[in-house]
């Protein structure tokens, strides 16, 4: 009887310690990889933009400048900052980022008069939500989406080799962005990631008659058709 009581007491003590350890482990699962809280990082990768538009629409087809809607690719780099909250193995977060690159297309008039129009994007920014799953204490798979902001410059040059005159206009495009990513904790503070982002929904920008230069028509327009990024990043959690 004496030994039974001792064994029972030992069992209760062991169970209590095990349950307490389990509770602590559940809480630590969220923070052991450093996914909880504020973070900031830098990124670099490749990106591309497609431009759509017609200038001198009211002229005969050979006098128009038509954007090709083909991909214009290049490098991009920038930074991001965000905050995560983890519930068991589910991550909810918010993130903002800004990137710099040089993406442009020049549409040349087809009749040889040397009229040309250039649409150029250098900055890309977004504010996004993140929803992820911790597949282990150090590995996160996530989806992301939100609002995108792409400022651009439109430049038109009329008869650039004869009697040149030109005009330009700063354009602001707001659309949406969606993406998928993978994040790995190297330590509880240092993380690396790989993600792909796709941007769409940017509006058309129209012009007044003879705005910027003579020959611009009220039915002319330009637009950033879509944009993408494939990038790697490294971040530090606070």
Q: What is the pLDDT of residue 14?
A: 31
What element of type H or E holds 91?
Answer: strand 90-108
Determine what percent of the chain is predicted with pLDDT higher than 70: 75
Q: What is the mean pLDDT of the chain?
A: 82
Q: How far apart are the first and last CA of the chain?
A: 55
Dump pLDDT digits (tens) for 204-225: 998 876 677 766 777 788 999 9
70-101 pLDDT, tens digit each: 999 999 999 999 999 999 899 999 999 999 99
Q: What is the pLDDT of residues 180-202, one digit of tens each?
A: 999 999 998 999 999 999 999 99
- Do 130 and 167 meet the contact criterion of CB atoms below 8 Å apart? no
- Tell me: pLDDT of 134 over 80: yes
Q: Which residue in this structure is represented by tokens 């282990």?
A: 136
Three-state DSSP class for residue 18: helix
pLDDT 10s digits, 37-52: 999 999 999 999 999 9
More confident residue, 88 or 4: 88
Number of Cβ within 10 Å of residue 153's Cβ equals: 14
Are 135 and 180 within 8 A, CB to CB? no
Residues in the chain: 238
What's the rounded Cα separation, in Å, for the pair 51 and 49?
Answer: 7
- What's the confidence (pLDDT) of residue 149? 98
Return the pLDDT at 74.
97
Query: Where are the extended beta strands (E) located within 186-220?
Result: 190-200, 205-206
The pTM for the full model equals 0.81
Of residues 128 and 137, more confidence is placed in: 128
- C-alpha 81/C-alpha 50 separation (Å) is 27
């Amino acid at each position: 009887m004496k030994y039974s009581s001792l064994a029972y007491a030992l069992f209760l003590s062991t169970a209590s310690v095990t349950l307490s350890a389990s509770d602590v482990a559940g809480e630590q699962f969220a923070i052991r990889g450093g996914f909880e809280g504020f973070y900031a990082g830098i990124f670099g990768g490749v990106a591309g933009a497609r431009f759509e538009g017609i200038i001198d629409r009211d002229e005969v087809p050979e006098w128009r400048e038509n954007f090709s809607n083909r991909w214009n690719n290049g490098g991009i780099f920038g930074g991001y900052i965000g905050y995560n909250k983890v519930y068991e193995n589910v991550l909810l977060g918010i993130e903002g980022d800004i990137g710099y690159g040089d993406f442009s297309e020049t549409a040349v008039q087809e009749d040889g008069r040397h009229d040309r129009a250039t649409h150029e994007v250098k900055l890309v920014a977004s504010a996004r939500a993140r929803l992820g799953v911790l597949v282990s204490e150090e590995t996160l798979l996530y989806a992301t989406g939100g609002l995108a902001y792409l400022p651009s410059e439109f430049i038109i040059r009329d008869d650039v080799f004869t009697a040149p005159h030109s005009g330009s206009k700063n354009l602001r495009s707001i659309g949406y962005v969606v993406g998928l990513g993978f994040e790995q904790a190297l330590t509880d503070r240092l993380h690396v990631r790989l993600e792909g982002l796709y941007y769409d929904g940017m509006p058309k920008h129209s012009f007044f008659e003879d705005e910027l230069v003579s020959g611009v028509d009220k039915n002319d327009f330009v637009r950033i058709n879509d944009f993408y990024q494939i990038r790697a990043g490294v971040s530090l959690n606070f």
